[in-house]
Amino acid sequence: MTASLIIAPQWIGDAVMTEPLLRRLHTRGEVLTVAALPWVAPVYRCVPQVDEVLELPFVHGKLQWSERYNLARRLRGHFDAAYVCPNSFKSALVPWLAGIKKRIGYLGESRRWLLTQRLPNPLPDHTPQMVDFYTALAGESPLEPAEVRPRLQPNIPLVASTLGNLRVQPQGYYVIAPGAEYGPAKRWPTHHFAVLAGQLSLPVLLLGSDKDAQACAEIARIVNAARPGQCTNLAGRTSLDQAMAIISATKSLISNDSGLMHVAAAFGVPQIALFGSSSPLHTPPLNPQAQVIWLKNDPGYQPALTCAPCFERECPLDHTRCLVDIQPSRVLSLLQLIPPVP
């Protein structure tokens, strides 16, 4: 039996999209330990194929040579293979320092000598979906359609306790996640979220990180002024484990192209995903219950968005009409088509 170490990506959405890779490795008999930064580790605690989640004691953006060396020394002799999901130099250091004989990853950042099996990075005009990008590390044939969708398993006791503390019932609330870590060019306007939340028939829970607290506070202020108690602002007040528990039991999630969008997709909950500067052709919510709004591919939207997708953090043209022009009424009409829970 092969003991394998997976070095996880640092973004929540990317972590979700490694699940099909883990499922494939598990199916062929590999015992999986995932080494992940603390803010993405909760994703892997919802992947039943993972035997152990090892939280890395690293700080984003720093080499921390001594910490990596000490960790590698503890791991030495415990693994037969390592799959390095990020493309960075430092992410490949621990498997190399630990002397893991088989080290698989993509070329990048002059790390050729740290890997034993090297995959060429895709050309810019042939960029695959991220699920396929990560699954290629397994070195097998492409995924069948039924294998593509990431799947997470909710922590049922945590779901029950979290919803109990919030005094909400499963499918008895909506979740709105107005953030997007990459930048404002991926965020639907705060006022649009507020207009939508104010028209929903069930209570709304606002989720996000500390960085989203101001936007969520503004949404809650606008909505609760007209409908007291309609919105509960949980931004920065939940762990990722708790946020995932809340998402797993929601009636529907409305979000930008973000990590929480991919979490909802992997739980298979109904969702509306709003795309602007990024592309659902590259990072779609892989969920049969997902509905995507992207004005770039809307033939009825004029003038056409020749600038999208720009993949910029901020709109280069300073208008962000790819998101501003998505009206709350359009999102509401899609939500109203979601069938009731039997």
Q: Where are the domains of the chain?
A: 3-144, 158-335
Distant-in-sequence contacts of 210-217, Cβ < 8 A, 24+ apart: 210/235, 210/236, 211/179, 211/181, 212/177, 212/178, 212/179, 212/236, 215/178, 215/179, 215/187, 215/190, 216/178
- How far apart CA 277 and CA 186 sit, in angstroms, is 6
- How far apart CA 241 and CA 73 sit, in angstroms, is 30
Predicted pLDDT of residue 167 = 96
Query: Do 3-144 and 158-335 show the same overall fold?
Result: yes
Predicted pLDDT of residue 342 = 61
- Tell me, yes or no, if the pTM score tops 0.85: yes
**Annotation: CATH topology of 3-144:** Rossmann fold (3.40.50)
Predicted pLDDT of residue 56 = 93
- The amino acid that residue 83 corresponds to is Y
Pull the structure tokens for residue 105.
Answer: 């990853």
- Backbone phi, then psi, for 50, in 5-degree steps? -85, 125
Predicted pLDDT of residue 140 = 79
pLDDT tens, the chain, 342 aa long: 899 999 999 999 999 999 999 999 999 999 999 999 999 999 999 999 999 999 998 887 778 889 999 999 999 999 999 999 999 999 999 999 999 999 999 998 889 999 999 999 887 767 778 899 999 999 977 777 767 899 999 999 999 999 999 999 999 999 999 998 877 889 999 999 999 999 999 999 999 999 999 999 999 999 999 999 999 999 999 999 999 999 999 999 999 999 999 999 999 999 999 999 999 988 899 999 999 999 999 999 999 999 999 999 999 998 999 999 999 999 999 999 887 766
Pull the structure tokens for residue 14.
Answer: 């990317």
Reported as type and span, the H/E element at residue 35 is strand 31-36
Strands 102-106 and 117-119: parallel
Would the CA dihedral through 328, 334, 337, 338 be positive or negative? negative
Length of the chain in residues, anyone? 342
Predicted pLDDT of residue 321 = 95
- How far apart CA 5 and CA 13 sit, in angstroms, is 20
> Under CATH, domain 158-335 is a member of which superfamily?
Glycogen Phosphorylase B; (3.40.50.2000)
